[in-house]
Structure 1
Amino acid sequence: MSDTALLTEKPRQDWRGLVNISFGFFGIQIGFALQNANMSRIFQTLGSSLDDLPALWVAAPLTGLLVQPIIGYMSDRTWLGRFGRRRPYFVAGAFLAALSLLLMPLAPVLLAAAVLLWVLDASLNVSMEPFRAFVGDMLNKDQHTAGYAVQTAFIGVGAVVGSLFPTLLDAWGVSNVAPEGSIPDTVRYSFWFGGAALFLAVMWTVVSTKEYDPEQMAVFNREHGDSEATGATIRALASKNQATALGWIGAGALVALLVMNFGFEKEVYLLAALLAAYGVASIIAINLAKKGEKSNMLSQIVGDFSGMPDLMKKLALAQFFSWSALFIMWIYTTPVVAQKFYNTTDSSSAAFQDAGNFVGNLFAVYNGVAAVAALVLLPWLAKRIGKVKTHMVGLLCGAAGYLSFLVFTDREMLYLSEIGVGIAWASILAMPYAILASSLPQRKLGIYMGLFNVFIVVPQLIVATLMGTVLKEFFPTEPIWTMLFAAGVMAAAALSMLRIREPA
């Protein structure tokens, strides 16, 4: 692009442009919804016990923890001519995710399903992470809230479609039961239809949008070049000593000792390994920075993580608590509903499969509510009380929704619970990103969004590694109490927002 052709401001997008930018998220969320609503059901059908579920789910957050910062870093530095900056990652992730959805219901044994969940979640993250930065790339700051609201609406609609697939197929006569150890046809066909829908939706965004090249983005954002930004990060990292890094290693060793001495579940060793691994990575990154090596990815990621803006740190705490609650819900809603409302714990029974379909309906409701809330309720509230207080209100609605699981005795009343959960889900998907996007350096938007999503992933890892131990020790036959945990941590997320001032 020549100098005379450069624009000084990003053109405002009309509703068609906003739709095209985020339509791919509709397909990505179909994949996530199928995963969230059906993987516990698949695992238990293939022989998993209730207290083993968190360990099997650990693949999902672990892949996100590793993939998202790397993809964020790489997509910030990618430019493949007419293929663009973020779109190559959209295509690669969508293809692999669609393939995983095709193969998942064919898994013959539990191990194969766990491996495919790992591949599926990694692929979804490869596509999803650049979509967050894509909104910031394509829109002016005054359209960020609208952009993330539309993206959240597509997330909600996609999740409704993905969650309802098994129920709709059951209503159309597809078998919802199968021999012991086999996956029902409703789930099998749902994954296949979902894979096709995911790939086509992502390709819609790829074909209908054109990214701004690096030269044009530099004019839009009026930021320093990569070399200067990289140098600042490396210099800041080089000034640090190794004490903090050694502290991370020590924390990992302490967790490992607790597992050994108190008989925690063995998957908690994974948490210990991750803490120690980050400490080791920090030591290597600091040493490379002290040597003046600016081009290595590790030092850039560690440097940006340790030097993240103060607003991002405060929002990260709210993310940590809110996503802990969400992950508890995704793991345990099916066994909770099956036991309390269908009076069964037998994963091979017709009642258990009916409970699985009902959970899909519940998830469809909260995602449908989220789609409406993102476009109507949250913008209305944000104009009147600000984005920070709006997020607090949304999180408290979610806490009330989880708490009501302990109160309601009629399963139809759970649809009311999902209204609160849906409002919280909409806020979690929109408000933190709308607050952050206008406050972060646009040249590093991909890496910062990837690092921010670490605080989505870490709580999921903690839930996946520790919740099985808690469940087994304190209420091995009563999973309903996991909803009390979810309500408590969601309320803690709301309280943590009190530390944040409304950005200008």
Structure 2
Amino acid sequence: MNNLSHKPKLSFWSIFNMSFGFLGIQFGFALQGGFMSRIFQTLGASQDDIPALWIAAPLTGLLVQPIIGYMSDRTWSPRWGRRKPFFLIGAVLSTIVLFFLPNSPVLWVAAGCLWVLDASINITMEPFRALVADKLPDSQRSYGFVMQTLIIGVGTWVASNLPWLVNQLGVSNEALPGIVPMSVKIAFGIGGVVFLASVLYTIFTTTEYPPEDLEEFKKENEASKGFANGVKEIFASIGQMPKTMKLLGVIQFFSWFSFFAMWSLATPALTTHVFNAPAPVETAFNMADEGSKALFMTASKSYNDAADLVGSYMGMYGLSSMAFALLLTFYAAKRSINRKYIHMFSLIAGGLGFISMYFINQPQQLIYSFILIGISWGSILSMPYAMLSSAINPKKMGIYMGIFNMFIVIPQIIAATGGLNYLYQLIFGEAVINAMLLAGASLIIGGLANFLITDKNVITHQAEDREVLN
């Protein structure tokens, strides 16, 4: 039994400061999620190849997050703390890759950059989750995770609109075959600057608590030192994960399968189905003929304009999640909330948002679809982690947060290795917009899976501090 009541409640600004780094993290994720498929298509990938090209993102998460969680649990520096060294390393690497990625000369380089970018973002992100549980008493954890979600929502909305905004400021979104438009390159550069600056803000404004018994902490680390011991402990922790964590994993599986479908296929699906402006295939045009080349450039401009708007509309889910998180922040600060039912109804709302895309015939109607998806996103980024943090041993918070993210990356790996294309074509038909129908169905199933969660201490956020059984 671990008594968390000794942790003092933190002020709004303390929680804001420790969460602010997520602004940059989400700039990275939103640019990756909103525009990576566009970059792949620009460099010659077909829409059927895109999910496989995304395999790097979840695969790096599967490998990196448990390792980083394990390492951060065993790190302590009086100057730098426990989690902050990983914030800094990941932010520097992510910033470098964000500048380089849109300048990739060929498809395989872009795919490799995605691999490095996702690994770097994961190095930063996983310890941020653990930091909330490290610093906050249980009565403030829902509040803390919702605050992260609020900042993530701001980052998603702004970053998703960056290429459109840069284009509106006069930077061209047109380019020759195989060249990423300058507007996208500048947007990624801005994202890199914001990423590093926001993480540095958290590093310099947030202190971390030392281990309760520093001498015992050092002895345990010395006894478990070495790569083999690390691997052994990770696998032992997987085998010993609490029942609630496994059940939350089922919900996470369906939730993240759905969002991977959006990130990888929403651009080709919506540019084709809603905007009637699919990406032109260079081999279908005779580029040596000026007339044919002009037709290609016209089709390319139509596609890039549509892709800008898809990214902009997609940013609406960030704005919606921000508004949802803001409501939860004010409510959870003073009252108890039922995490289970909030998460259930939020996921079902997002599922309906995905399904509605199939029936849209006016692009501006996508706003309403993404508003519903944003409600799901706001809950996905807060409620599962709040429930999990009430069910696990605080001394192993980092490693369990890392292991929990396996339930995020495994469905994405399944989707990327053919599961997404196979299932949506088998169930709904070959048109790529049907991937959004599959995403909606998956999210609704994830919502209903919340009925599996029965532990009352996990379900209900309490207004007062309480003891947590481990």
Matched, 1:174 2:174: no
Q: What is the CA distance between 1:354 and its match in structure 2?
A: 1.3
Find the counterpart in structure 1 of residue 269 from structure 2: 336
**Does the CA contact (< 8 Å) of 2:38 and 2:267 recur in 1?**
yes
**Does the CA contact (< 8 Å) of 2:424 and 2:438 recur in 1?**
no
Instruction: Report which structure shows greater RCO (CA 8 Å, sep ≥6).
Output: 2
Cα offsets for 1:310-347 (capped at 9, x unmatched): 11011010000000000001111111111112213234
Identical counterparts, % of pairs: 44
Aligned length: 433
Where do 1:280-319 residues align within 5 Å?
296-319=229-252
Look up the SS of the partner of 1:175 in the other structure. coil
Matched, 1:435 2:395: no
Look up the SS of the partner of 2:79 in the other structure. helix
Cα offsets for 1:388-427 (capped at 9, x unmatched): 0110010000111011011221111111111110000000
Find the counterpart in structure 2 of residue 96 from structure 1: 93
Matched, 1:204 2:201: yes
**Does the CA contact (< 8 Å) of 1:160 and 1:368 recur in 2?**
yes
- RMSD value, Cα: 2.4
Amino acid paired to 2:162: F
Q: CA 1:295–1:213 in structure 2 vs 1: closer, same or farther (change >3 Å)?
A: farther
Separation in 1, partners of 2:436, 2:176: 31
Q: CA 1:147–1:230 in structure 2 vs 1: closer, same or farther (change >3 Å)?
A: farther
Question: What TM-score comes out, normalization by structure 1 length?
Answer: 0.82
- From 159, 166, 189, give the equivalent of 1:192: 189
Cα offsets for 1:286-310 (capped at 9, x unmatched): xxxxxxx997111100110111001
Find the counterpart in structure 2 of residue 374 from structure 1: 325
Look up the SS of the partner of 1:344 in the other structure. coil
Where do 1:239-388 residues align within 5 Å?
296-347=229-280, 349-377=300-328, 380=331, 386-388=338-340
**Unaligned regions of 5+ residues in structure 2, if any?**
281-298, 458-470
Look up the SS of the partner of 1:479 in the other structure. coil
**Does the CA contact (< 8 Å) of 1:338 and 1:351 recur in 2?**
no
Separation in 1, partners of 2:350, 2:218: 41
Separation in 2, partners of 1:294, 1:51: 39
Cα offsets for 1:253-290 (capped at 9, x unmatched): xxxxxxxxxxxxxxxxxxxxxxxxxxxxxxxxxxxxxx
Look up the SS of the partner of 2:369 in the other structure. helix
Look up the SS of the partner of 2:170 in the other structure. coil
Cα offsets for 1:155-196 (capped at 9, x unmatched): 111111110100111111110111111000110000001101
Q: What is the CA distance between 1:468 and its match in structure 2?
A: 3.3
Separation in 2, partners of 1:196, 1:381: 33
Matched, 1:11 2:5: no
Separation in 1, partners of 2:208, 2:5: 15
Amino acid paired to 2:256: W
Q: CA 1:476–1:400 in structure 2 vs 1: closer, same or farther (change >3 Å)?
A: closer
Q: CA 1:473–1:489 in structure 2 vs 1: closer, same or farther (change >3 Å)?
A: closer
- From 105, 125, 128, give the equivalent of 2:125: 128
Question: What TM-score comes out, normalization by structure 2 length?
Answer: 0.87
Find the counterpart in structure 2 of residue 240 from structure 1: none
Amino acid paired to 2:175: A
Q: What is the CA distance between 1:447 and its match in structure 2?
A: 0.3
**Does the CA contact (< 8 Å) of 1:86 and 1:130 recur in 2?**
yes
Find the counterpart in structure 1 of residue 453 from structure 2: 500
Look up the SS of the partner of 1:183 in the other structure. coil
Cα offsets for 1:29-50 (capped at 9, x unmatched): 0010000000000000000011
Amino acid paired to 1:297: G
Matched, 1:450 2:395: no
Moved more, 435-444 or 317-326: 435-444
Separation in 2, partners of 1:176, 1:132: 36
Q: What is the CA distance between 1:10 and its match in structure 2?
A: 2.1
Amino acid paired to 1:402: F
**Does the CA contact (< 8 Å) of 1:378 and 1:427 recur in 2?**
no
Q: What is the CA distance between 1:8 and its match in structure 2?
A: 7.8
